[in-house]
Amino acid sequence: MRPVVAAVALEYRETFSFVKLDVNSEREKTTEYLIFATPTYIVFNDGEIAGRFAGAMPSTQLVQNILEILGTEETE
The full DSSP string for 11-47 is HTTTT-------TTT-HHHHHHTT--SSSEEEEEETT
What's the pLDDT tens digit per position in 3-28? 999 999 999 999 999 999 999 999 99
Residues 6+ apart with CB under 8 A from 63: 8, 12, 74
Residues 6+ apart with CB under 8 A from 55: 37, 39
pLDDT exceeds cutoff 70 at 75: no
Global pTM exceeds 0.85? yes
What confidence tier does 72 reach under pLDDT thresholds 50, 70, 90? confident
Supply the range of the domain harboring residue 20: 2-70
Query: CATH code at 12?
Result: 3.40.30.10
Task: Answer whether residue 10 is part of any domain.
Answer: yes
Q: Please give the Cα distance from 47 to 59 (Å, whole number).
A: 24
Task: Answer whether residue 75 is part of any domain.
Answer: no
In the chain, the number of structural domains is 1
